[in-house]
């Protein structure tokens, strides 16, 4: 098949809409549902991300995409019982690829609402079972077991989008797109991200353990498929905060850092002890937790409100408790798709436990950025390669 009609373009008024190949066959098959324009943008970008993560790390990889940027990405590493609980998967037996998706989606559950899922490996029944109970628009994978496909076809009243991609497909080296009737052309970004990028360590601290190298790979490959400007925080093989599409790099760093803080605060004992009413919807539970750990905590604890969410009225999470808990976050890796122009980015990153930094370098203020890293004993590698994505 060389052409596939889509539901509509970016918006319902943008019709007709299709994807097609000028030469050869489309590398994708729609096994269920009717994906739209943005669905396929998410699908093709997220597939490239997980494919490259698998190639770089040797581990099954997954991503949770929204609006052509990852809300989260992860490789299959062991999950603690605490993480299983905050990701709401402590009642499931998870395969490696299912674990990778659980961690990718759990990075930023608010943003992953209605996501597009991507898997580097064949989708199994355990991953399909996990997806079935989450709010999601669709999935792309190189294949599906018979049982997994049957499960996914029952989702969204039978309309869940399931796309299979040929893992051997190689795109043309030149890519084009039209904007306002003008055709843009460029060479495809085939730049390979691997550990050879991490040899130029510019800080006094030169100790870069293997786990940090893996996390740098996760951050850089995630950034390669994140709308720029972008910054990514990673810990233990998974993103914990992605700041995408900001005009200022410090705003990227703050946005992603705030998401990383929320991820960590969700593991606070008071949050883990929250006793929700029976049959509360998963999105409502996520929203409640997000408000509970925010400055708007009083909104969910006021009389007449908390009874709709909790079995018992919880104690508030104080600013002092949050500050004390956040100081325990450490060993985080920070990646940036372009150089840091000022040391303020490192100052903000330090507040979210960043120990390792990967960025292109090349700013006229590199010495200030390096000095700020040295102040906190961080390890920073200059990759020499910008990763803008638009």
Give me the active site residues, please.
66-67, 229, 390
The string of DSSP codes covering 135-203 is -EEEEEES-B-HHHHHHHTTGGGGT-EEEEE-TT----SEEEEEETTEEEEEE---PPP-GGGG--B-S
| Contact indicator for 239, 383 with CB cutoff of 8 Å | no
| Contact indicator for 337, 218 with CB cutoff of 8 Å | no
Nearest to 64 by CA among 213, 189, 244: 244
DSSP element (H, E) containing 333: strand 332-336
Joined tokens for residue 276: 């929700």
In angstroms, the CA 178 to CA 77 distance is 40
Contacts 24+ apart (CB under 8 A), 46-50: 46/70, 46/116, 46/117, 46/118, 46/140, 46/225, 47/118, 47/140, 47/165, 48/225, 49/73, 49/118, 49/221, 49/222, 49/224, 49/225, 50/118, 50/119, 50/120
Cα→Cα distances 5→22, 35, 124, 227, Å: 15, 9, 28, 26
Nearest to 74 by CA among 285, 233, 283: 233
Location of structure tokens 């050869």: 24
Beta-bridged to residue 382, according to DSSP, are 359
Q: Are strands 61-66 and 182-187 parallel, antiparallel or unpaired?
A: unpaired
Nearest to 59 by CA among 105, 115, 124, 120: 120
In angstroms, the CA 289 to CA 17 distance is 39
């Amino acid at each position: 098949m060389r052409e596939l009609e889509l539901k509509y373009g970016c918006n319902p008024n943008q019709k007709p809409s299709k994807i097609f190949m000028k030469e050869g066959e489309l590398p994708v098959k729609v096994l269920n549902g009717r994906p739209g324009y943005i669905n396929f943008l998410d699908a093709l970008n997220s597939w490239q991300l997980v494919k490259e993560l698998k190639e770089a790390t040797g581990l099954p990889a997954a991503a949770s995409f929204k609006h052509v940027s990852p809300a989260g990405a992860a490789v299959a590493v062991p999950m603690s019982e605490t993480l299983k609980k905050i990701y709401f998967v402590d009642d499931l037996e998870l395969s490696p690829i299912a674990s990778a998706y659980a961690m990718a989606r759990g990075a930023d559950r608010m943003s992953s609402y209605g996501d597009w899922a991507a898997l580097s490996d064949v989708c199994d029944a355990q991953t399909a079972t996990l997806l079935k109970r989450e709010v999601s628009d669709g999935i792309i994978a190189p294949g599906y077991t018979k049982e997994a496909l049957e499960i996914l076809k029952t989702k969204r009243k039978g309309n869940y989008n399931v796309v299979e991609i040929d893992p051997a497909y190689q795109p043309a080296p030149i890519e084009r797109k039209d904007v306002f009737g003008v055709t843009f052309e460029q060479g495809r970004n085939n730049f390979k991200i691997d550990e050879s990028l991490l040899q130029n360590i510019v800080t006094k601290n030169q100790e870069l353990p293997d786990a940090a190298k893996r996390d740098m790979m996760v951050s850089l490959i995630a950034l390669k498929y994140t709308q720029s400007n972008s910054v990514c925080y990673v810990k233990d093989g998974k993103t914990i905060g992605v700041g995408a599409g900001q005009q200022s790099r410090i705003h990227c760093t703050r946005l992603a850092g705030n998401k990383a803080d929320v991820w960590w605060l969700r593991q606070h004992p008071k949050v883990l002890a929250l006793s929700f009413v029976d049959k509360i919807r998963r999105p409502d539970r996520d929203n409640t937790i997000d408000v509970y750990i925010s400055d708007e905590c009083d909104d969910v604890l006021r009389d007449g409100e908390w009874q709709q969410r909790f079995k018992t009225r919880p104690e508030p999470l104080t600013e002092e408790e949050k500050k004390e808990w956040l100081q325990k976050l450490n060993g985080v890796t920070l990646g940036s798709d372009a150089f840091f122009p000022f040391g303020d980015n490192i100052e903000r990153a330090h507040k979210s436990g960043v120990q390792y930094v990967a960025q292109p370098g090349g700013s006229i203020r590199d010495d200030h950025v390096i000095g700020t890293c040295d102040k906190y004993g961080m390890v920073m590698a200059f990759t020499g390669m910008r990763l803008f994505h638009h």
